[in-house]
Structures are given as C-alpha cells and as structure tokens.
Amino acid sequence: MTTACLLGQAPGPTVYTGAQILPFLRLYDLKGLGDLIHKEDSVGNKEVAISLDEDAWNQVPFKKIDVADDYAALKTADDTYYPLCPFLPPTLEKLAEARSYQEVLQTLVPPSRSENEAYLPIMDVPVSVRTLEESHVSFDLHLRAAYLHQDRIVWIECAMTYKESQVARSQSTPFYESVIQIHVSPKYK
C-alpha cells in the first residue's frame, strides 16, 4: 500500500477513487495509470488502495489495484486477484461449453493475443497446472478474471473439480464438474 505525507498531516494510505482510475482502465492505459499512482520505472509493479464505494459501487468487492508494466489486477479484501483483461468478457454459454482447465483458460484469456502471457502468473496458472499434473487426489482449481464492458466491471470465477485419479492428468484432462460465477457491477459514469 502507498502512503503520502503532506506537510502538517499525518501519513496515511492514499486511496484512489473510481473516478480517478476508471478513465485509464477504459483505455487500458497502464502507463497513465502508473503515472497516476506514482509507479516508478524501476518498480515492477505497485499496489495501491482503491475506493469504489464512494462511486456508489457497494457491491464491488475490489479494495486494491496492482499495476505493472504489462498488466493490472483488481484485488479483493481477502487478497484474491482478478487480472483485468483488455478485451470482451466471455459469455456464460461459452464458459459452460469448456470441459477442461485449458478450455476455461482459453475462454477467459484468448491465446491469440501475444500479451496475454502477463496474466498467467497473476492467475496462478503455473502453480495450478503443476498441481493438476502432479496430484492424484480430489481437488478444486480456480481461475479468475475481470473485464470492463459497457461501462461495467465484469468479474468471473471458474472453479473446476477433479476427482481422485491414478492416471496422469494434463491441462486438457476433463474436469468432473465446474461452478461458474459471473458478477456485474452497476454502470459507472
């Protein structure tokens, strides 16, 4: 979290509002957003507090934003990251068609975009793929992403359940069942 110290004022957290950050997110202007939050070139990424509540977005769970040179991620109060993807969100129908971890990932983050590699670490993809390939017990995997669409924030979580198996698994192994949650914020101005 960033702090600012003004003369005669005790240091406290700098909290950026939706009105300040949303214009940069609409354009996916990470340099402009970095300049707003005083992210220096030598800093790989910088996390700052945001307040969308004063914009009447009480339903939006995001309390921080992590800004890097090649991605931005919204973060909830319980430290769950949602990478902000600069393209259209997938439809529920398209997500429901996915039958494997790889298909869900490609639906959330289309592989045709070369810059999409930046999202994978923040989505814990390397860790979850390793778990998928090495584990033989039942477990759940989660993928999360956020999007700006038609003056709203759309955030999606996909949970995939894998049953116990002695056979080696891969990203294309079908999951047993899945739960898809899609949330949509009120319109912002």
Q: Which of 57-61, 128-132, 154-158 has the highest mean pLDDT?
A: 154-158
Confidence (pLDDT) at 43: 83
- Whether the CB-CB separation of 105 and 117 falls below 8 Å is answered with no
Confidence (pLDDT) at 108: 94
pLDDT tens column, 47-58 = 999 887 655 556
Q: Whole-angstrom Cα distance, residue 179 to residue 49?
A: 30
pLDDT tens column, 160-179 = 999 999 888 999 999 999 99
In the chain, pLDDT over 90 holds for what percent of residues? 63
